[in-house]
Structures are given as C-alpha cells and as structure tokens.
C-alpha cells in the first residue's frame, strides 16, 4: 500500500483526470464529466498524444491537446473489414448497419462499426471509429483527491520496476502467505527472505539493488 502526492506527472505517476473528446467536425463524441479516468502514466493506458500531453503537468491543470491520427487511433485503412460470427457480439440481434459496437477478442474488446448483418455473421469495419481523425481532448487533471478523501492506493503487481517507482510500503506474498513486508526502501535495499531476494534478482541488474545486494 502506498500514498501518491502528484507534484509533476512523469512515468509511473498515477494520474486522475476528466476530459471531453471533440472530433474534426467539432462534435462532442465523449466525455468523463461524471466519472474520472485514472491511469498509470507511461504504460500506454491512453492514446500516445494524451499521454504526451499529460507529461510535466500538475494537479489542477486544465489544457487542450490536439491529437493527430498517428498519436491517436491510427490512420484509416480502406476496406479493412471482416466477417465475424454473431457469437462474438453482445446482443447481436439488436445491431444495425452503421452502429458502433464491441467485438469480443482474446485480449478484451475492440470497438468496430457494423457494415452488414447476415443470418449467422456480421461484417464489421475494424478501423477504430476515430481512426484517421485529428482529435481534441479538453483535459482537467484532478486536484489532490487523495488528501480530500484521505485515500490509500493499493496496487497488486508483478512488475517490480513499477512497484519500486510507486510504492512506499510493500507486502511480498507467495501462494497466499505474507513472506515479507516493510518500507519500500528497506525491502529493495535489504530484503530478508530468500524468496524476495530471488524476485529482485530476477527483475533487476545486481548493481541496481543497492549496496547490500552486492555484498
């Protein structure tokens, strides 16, 4: 468990923000006015253009980011269609040509546009609905919600490099049991349990672990 107080946004900063998304026609096509978006900066949780715009900002900043296709949802590819079984859609019988829906794939879901509906299959346009467009994101980075609500962030992760960048307090677990816990600096510089040492040795070059690991 660890506390985060955002001073300046950089890689591995947890960022909470609201945004409005406006397309090339000036139409509002999305917003998070009633629900904030929270990401881990630098890990492609949002489109590249927004991530670049967040870098170096601070809580309370309000700004606009123009995101070209190459930093957003990519260029539009003509004739990029695919015929897909209806079983991969949620409520396929309610779909109509031109509607944007979500296609279930191994990695999650993908937004697609319905082109044609058949008896057992649906033809979809695989381009993202915003592909090929320069988009405008009106962004507000939220003020210190951590202090306002007296929050503690709990992260569960196997990526020790991210843990090292973020955590103030660490609990190491194996097969549901607590192996070791303590202040982050103490765990990384002077781990006591052999399992913790093995994890750190696997994740880092020896010289980055601290003097105690080189002795």
pLDDT in tens, 141-157: 986 555 556 667 777 88
pLDDT of residue 143: 62
- Structural domain boundaries enclosing 182: 160-214
Answering whether pTM is above 0.75, one says: no
| Domain assignment present for 6 | no
pLDDT of residue 148: 57
Are residues 141 and 48 both part of a single domain? yes
Domain CATH for 18: 3.10.50.40
Q: What is the DSSP string of the chain?
A: -B----SS--TT-EEEEEEEEE-TTS-EEEE-SSS-EEEETTSSSS-HHHHHHHTT--TT-EEEEEE-GGGTT-PPPTT-EEEEEGGGBSSGGG--TT-EEEEEETTEEEEEEEEEE-SSEEEEE-S-TTTT--EEEEEEE---HHHHHT--B----S-HHHHHHH-SEEEEEETTEEEEEEEHHHHHHS--SHHHHHHHHHHS-GGGS-HHHH-
| Domain assignment present for 5 | no
Are residues 64 and 139 both part of a single domain? yes
Residue percentage of the chain with pLDDT more than 90? 52
For residues 17-22, average pLDDT: 94
pLDDT of residue 181: 94
Are residues 97 and 25 both part of a single domain? no
Are residues 140 and 38 both part of a single domain? yes
Query: How many structural domains comprise the chain?
Result: 3
Are residues 166 and 201 both part of a single domain? yes
Of 33 and 197, the structure prediction assigns the larger pLDDT to 197
Are residues 121 and 137 both part of a single domain? no
Domain CATH for 99: 2.40.10.330
pLDDT in tens, 70-129: 999 999 999 899 999 999 998 999 999 999 999 888 767 889 999 999 999 999 999 999
Are residues 18 and 69 both part of a single domain? yes
């Amino acid at each position: 468990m660890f506390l985060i107080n955002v001073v300046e946004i950089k890689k591995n900063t947890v960022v909470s923000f609201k945004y409005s998304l406006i397309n090339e026609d000036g139409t509002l096509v999305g917003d998070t006015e009633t629900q904030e978006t929270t990401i881990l900066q630098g890990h492609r949780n949002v489109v590249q253009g927004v991530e670049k715009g967040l870098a170096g900002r601070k809580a309370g900043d309000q700004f606009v980011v123009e995101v070209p296709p190459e930093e957003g949802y990519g260029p539009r590819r003509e004739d990029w269609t695919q015929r897909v079984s209806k079983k991969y859609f949620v409520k396929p019988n309610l779909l109509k040509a031109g509607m944007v829906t979500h296609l279930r794939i191994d990695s999650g879901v993908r937004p697609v546009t319905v082109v044609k509906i058949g008896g057992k299959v649906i033809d979809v346009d695989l381009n993202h609905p915003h592909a090929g467009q320069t988009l405008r994101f009106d962004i507000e980075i939220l003020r210190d919600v951590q202090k306002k609500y007296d929050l503690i962030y709990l992260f569960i992760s196997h990526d020790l490099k991210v843990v090292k960048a973020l955590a103030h307090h660490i609990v190491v677990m194996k097969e549901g049991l607590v192996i070791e816990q303590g202040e982050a600096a103490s765990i990384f510089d002077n781990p006591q349990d052999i399992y913790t040492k093995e994890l750190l040795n696997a994740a880092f070059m020896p010289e980055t672990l601290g003097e105690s690991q080189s002795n």
